[in-house]
Structure 1
Amino acid sequence: MNLRPRLLAFTFAILLILPTLDQLLGLSSGFSNTENRQANAMPALNFPHVRSFVHQFDRYYKENFGWRNALFYAYSRWKFNILGLSPLPEKVVIGKNGWLYLGNSYNRVIDQHRGLQPLSADSARLITNHLLKLQQELAKQGILLYVLVAPDSHTIYPESLPDHLQQSPAPSRLDILKQIAAKTALHFVDIRDTLQAAKRKHVVYYQTDTHWNEYGTLVGCAALLEHIRHDKPAMDPVRLSDYHIQRQRGGAGDLSTMLTLQNEQKDPIFYYIKPLSNRTSHQVALVPNADIGFPSTRFTGPGSGKLLLIGDSFSHGMMNYLPGYFNKSYFVRGNQLDPVLVKVERPTVVVIEIVERNINKLATF
């Protein structure tokens, strides 16, 4: 009768000690943190701000206690494989046919597509007027401005969303903005129809990632360049024959990695695309940017003119194609067009790229 409570007490003590042992000895070091965000660092204790330290340490410990990553690894497989549910439903939505979608943690993207976060006509006018002002200021310097919206995968592949999260039949936020912009002289580039047409023969977005794949990126860049050619007819047209396109077995994207399912949930299709010599550009510099955390990138290419592109993570893949149509290109990650940067770079073309779920940020670009 005395053995049972002793065993329970011993087991309980071991469970209490295990997290500390793991932090000291790294027993679960084989399980890494796959969350797509910056973890909080260990706070410093500064007297007399003890209460602030306690709050910061509590947040730090919740993200770094021993066995945390291993426990989530086990929980993720139980939730996904046994229950068929997302371990992180606010971050990753489990769709049909192996598709994963970004969840509401990112600017309420699911609610946006369900019509629960509409964009008012007044907000669309505010955004359009701001961008028009930028376009007019750049035009005085002989610079063309284009605004490109990269669609969410929810827009291009709505058929694979869960039945209870289907898109609203009402005009989307992007529809409203496009309608307002169409009444002005703003160079607003909407590539949804182009991507939806391309997807009839090719997959244009990663199934396990938040971004378009290489083929979708190429198609999007071609549509953008056609808009630019309308104002600069001397620019070379985009021909798919200028690219070597190879279809391969895919890997895992950022969404499956967030769920620690990168070894199990992979894309069935991956495109390897390489430009031929007449469209090949060369990276000539990486410029550190501590404020953003991503370096800016310079290219030289076989085309003419100079491109300055300010964009988000969707612009990363565009570096493989756009520089082949300009003499010089400069890609900057950010959400603001710095007038000083424009004066220093003196581009002939400026492109603002932003993903659909973040179009509200265009009001302060």
Structure 2
Amino acid sequence: MQIRSRLVAVSFAVLLLLPTLDQVVGVSSWFRNTENRQLRRMPLLHFPHVRQFVIRFDRYYKENFGGRNALFYVYSRWKYNVLGQSPLPEKVVVGKNGWFYLGNSYNRVVDQHRGLVPLSDSAASLIADHLIRRQQELAQQGIKLYVLIAPDAETIYPEYLPDHLAQSKEPSRLDVLKQAIAKTTLPFIDIRDTLRAAKRDHAVYYQTDTHWNAYGTLVGCAALLNRIRQDQPTIPLIHVSDYTIQQRSGMSGDLTHMLTLQDNITEKVDYAIRPTTRLASRETASIPREKIAFPSRRFSGSGSGRLLFIGDSFSNSMMQYLPAYFHESYFVRDGKLDAETVRAERPTILVLEIVERNISQLATF
């Protein structure tokens, strides 16, 4: 009994010390954190604010203790492979047939599609009024404003959502905003129906990522350019048939990386898309920006007009196609309209792109 008790005590002490030892020695350092968020840094102790230090250190240690990533790696595989559930349901929703979706920690996107976070008519009117003021300000400078909404994957592929997260049959937040903007002259490009029609031929979104794939991007760019061309006939016409589309094996997306499942799950379908026309573009500059990890990028193309494109992460893949249809293009990752950038670039066309789940941010554009 004494030997057994001592073994238990020693084992318990070793288990208590393992996280600290691992943090110092780095035995499990090859397990990387993939949660797609900024982890807290070690706080500094400032006397006499000891209590605040203890609180901050507790938060820091919970995110950075030794072996945490290795433990989550094991837990994630057990939760997904054995129970068929998401290890982080608030971040990633596990759907049907290998589909993954963003969870509620991203602007309550799941609740939005379930109709639990409706957009009121008054809020939609405020957004519309704000965008009209922006449109008028830009028009005085000879700039045409276009607003493009990139749909959520839940909107285009609702059939693969879990049954308990079925979409609401009530008008969506985007429907309400679209009705408000329809009373104005603002070019508002809603490509939901276009993408739904296109998915009959090819997949338009990644199954393991938050974004549209190369084909979905091409369809979105075609819809945007064909709307711009109604006002700017000199912009070359774009057709999906102008490109060769070849299917290829895909990589794992950001959603599976968040769950550390990227080694086990990859995209079933991806595409290599190349133009068949003479239109071409080249990147001429990449400009770093303070406080933003993504640089602004400048392109020279064989089309006409000057494009200023302000968008989110959905705009990254759009750089593959759009610059060829303009003489000059400047892409900025931002959700704000910077007057100084507009004056410096002197665009003829300004496109604001935003993903569906963040349309409320249009009120501050």
TM-score (norm 2): 0.98
Residue 225 of structure 1 deviates from its aligned partner by 0.4
In structure 1, distance between residues paired with 2:147 and 2:80: 39
**Structure 1 SS opposite 2:278:** helix
Contact 1:149–1:356, Cα closer than 8 Å, also in 2 = yes
In structure 2, distance between residues paired with 1:277 and 1:284: 21
Residue 56 of structure 1 deviates from its aligned partner by 2.0
Larger mean Cα displacement after TM superposition, 218-227 or 237-246: 237-246
Equivalent in the alignment of 1:333:
333
Residue 111 of structure 1 deviates from its aligned partner by 0.4
Calculate the aligned-residue CA RMSD, in Å.
Answer: 1.1
Q: Which amino acid aligns with 1:80?
A: Y
Equivalent in the alignment of 1:264:
264
Contact 1:242–1:278, Cα closer than 8 Å, also in 2 = no
Contact 2:219–2:240, Cα closer than 8 Å, also in 1 = no
Residue 231 of structure 1 deviates from its aligned partner by 0.2
Residue 77 of structure 1 deviates from its aligned partner by 0.8
Gaps of 5+ in 1: none
Larger mean Cα displacement after TM superposition, 39-48 or 291-300: 39-48
Deviation string for 1:305-357 (max 9, x for gaps)? 11111111001111111101111111111110011110111101001100000
**Structure 2 SS opposite 1:293:** strand
Equivalent in the alignment of 2:355:
355
In structure 1, distance between residues paired with 2:289 and 2:64: 28
Task: Report sequence identity in percent.
Answer: 66
Contact 1:242–1:279, Cα closer than 8 Å, also in 2 = no
Contact 2:311–2:352, Cα closer than 8 Å, also in 1 = yes
Equivalent in the alignment of 2:62:
62
Equivalent in the alignment of 1:181:
181
Deviation string for 1:259-283 (max 9, x for gaps)? 1110112110011123346222111
Equivalent in the alignment of 1:139:
139
Contact 2:148–2:224, Cα closer than 8 Å, also in 1 = yes
4+ residue runs over 4 A deviation: none
In structure 2, distance between residues paired with 1:209 and 1:133: 35
Deviation string for 1:39-58 (max 9, x for gaps)? 11222223333333222222
Residue 289 of structure 1 deviates from its aligned partner by 1.1
Equivalent in the alignment of 1:243:
243
**Structure 2 SS opposite 1:360:** helix
1:22 aligns with 2:22: yes
**Structure 2 SS opposite 1:194:** helix
In structure 2, distance between residues paired with 1:330 and 1:42: 39
In structure 2, distance between residues paired with 1:174 and 1:210: 18
Larger mean Cα displacement after TM superposition, 151-160 or 262-271: 262-271
Residue 184 of structure 1 deviates from its aligned partner by 1.0
Q: Which amino acid aligns with 2:341?
A: L
- Within a 5 Å distance, the mapping from 1:1-365 to structure 2 comes to 1-276=1-276, 278-365=278-365
Larger mean Cα displacement after TM superposition, 180-189 or 147-156: 180-189
Residue 21 of structure 1 deviates from its aligned partner by 1.1
Say how many residue pairs are matched. Answer: 365
Residue 244 of structure 1 deviates from its aligned partner by 3.0
Deviation string for 1:80-111 (max 9, x for gaps)? 01111110000000101100000000000000
**Structure 1 SS opposite 2:41:** coil
In structure 1, distance between residues paired with 2:275 and 2:289: 28
In structure 2, distance between residues paired with 1:72 and 1:165: 26
Gaps of 5+ in 2: none
Q: Which amino acid aligns with 1:313?
A: S
**Structure 2 SS opposite 1:9:** helix
In structure 1, distance between residues paired with 2:52 and 2:350: 44
Q: Which amino acid aligns with 1:295?
A: P
**Structure 1 SS opposite 2:212:** coil
